[in-house]
Structure 1
C-alpha cells in the first residue's frame, strides 16, 4: 500500500510546489493596500468566504510532504461532490463574465481546475476590475480551499478584450469528518466583479463585501 501511495505523494508535492510559486509571484505583483475585510473573511470563513490558512490548506508547508499528501490525496471511498459555478458583475462594470463550465464533480482531496471568461464590452476604454467570491452553503467555506485564483486582484482588460481566468481548488478531506456537512452534495462557487476604484493617494479602495 505504501508503494502505491508514493507516486501520489510525489505528484501532489510537485503540484503544490508549482502552485505555491505562482501564488508568491502573484502576491509580489499585487497591489500593496489589501482591504482589511479580505483578510478577515479568508481567516474566518465569514459569509461563505473560502478559508486560506494552514489548517485548511491555504499555506501548506512545501517541506511537509505528509501534510501535503493528506490534504491533496483524493478520498476514493467518499461520494463525489457537485461543484457548480456562478458569475456576475456590478451594474457599473460593462463586462461580460461567465463560467466556462456549468459544474465539475470532485472527491474530497482531489484538485480541480475551472475557468471563467471575462470580456470588456466597452468600445471606448480599458477597465480594471476586482472580484470577490463566496461559497454556498456558507458552512462549507472552511473546507473550500483555493490554491490559485484571480480574486481580490486587479484584472485589467483592454477595450473589447476577452481573457480566461483559472481557479485551482480542492475540498479539504476534513469535510467528511464534520457532521454538519452530512447531506451536502452540491457546493456553489460564485464570483462578482466590481469596477476598481482608487482613493486620492492612488490606493485601491475596498469593494463591497458580499455579506
Structure 2
C-alpha cells in the first residue's frame, strides 16, 4: 500500500470516528445528565421511597413559554413545603390562546443544580407532548418527591429550597412528523 493510500485511509478513519463521536454526543450527554443530575436534570421514578423524614424542603414552581407557542402557562401554586421523601403533587395550567391546535413539549430543570440528582418525578406532563385545541384549558399534574439521600450528600445536604422550572416549546405532533416523512419505496 502506498503512502498516499495510507494517508487517505487514515483521513477517512478520522472523519468516520469524528462522525461517530458527534452522533453519540447527544445521547451520551442526556444519559450523563440523567444519571448525575448535571444541569439540574431531574430523576424519574416509579414510586416514592418508604421513608418520609421530618425535614422539610420548600419547592417553588416556575413556568415559561416560547414566544411562538401561543399558550399561557403557569403553576397553580407558587410554592409548596414538602417533607423529604414525601410523595407530593403540584399542578400547572396551560391555555391555548390561539385559534389553531398547537402541540407543545415541556423542558425542565431544577435549581440549585445539585438538587437534580435528588428530585424525582413519578408522573409528569413533561414526559409526553401536549396538544391543545383553540381556547382549550388543561390542568397538568406533576407527582414528585425529594430523595432522603439528599441529606447524606455533603455537597447537597444544605439544600432546603428547590425551584422546579418548565418551559413549553412548540413541537410538531409525532404523528404529523411521521405523516410528513417520505415513504421508503422498495421496488
Considering fraction of residues, name the structure with more strand.
2
Q: 5 Å matches for 1:114-125?
A: 114-122=90-98, 124-125=99-100
Question: Which residue in 2 is equivalent to 1:31?
Answer: none
Partners of 1:132 and 1:152 within 8 A in 2: no
Structure 2 gaps, min length 5: 1-25, 179-187
Deviations 1:21-57 (A, max 9, x none): xxxxxxxxxxxxxx948952333322111023xxxxx
Instruction: Give the aligned CA root-mean-square deviation in angstroms.
Output: 2.5
| Structure 1 CA distance for aligned equivalents of residues 140 and 29 of structure 2 | 20
| Structure 1 CA distance for aligned equivalents of residues 128 and 68 of structure 2 | 18
1:74 to 44, 52, 62: 52
- Displacement of 1:198 in angstroms is 6.5
Relative distance call for 1:115 and 1:142 in structure 2 (3 A) is: same
Q: 5 Å matches for 1:25-64?
A: 36=27, 39-40=30-31, 41-52=33-44, 58-59=45-46
| Structure 2 CA distance for aligned equivalents of residues 125 and 92 of structure 1 | 13
2:109 to 122, 131, 134: 134
4+ residue runs over 2 A deviation: 35-44
| Structure 1 CA distance for aligned equivalents of residues 161 and 97 of structure 2 | 32
- 2:144 counterpart of 1:169: yes
Deviations 1:88-138 (A, max 9, x none): 00111010000000111011111111000000000x211000001100000
Deviations 1:118-168 (A, max 9, x none): 00000x211000001100000010000100001141100000000000000
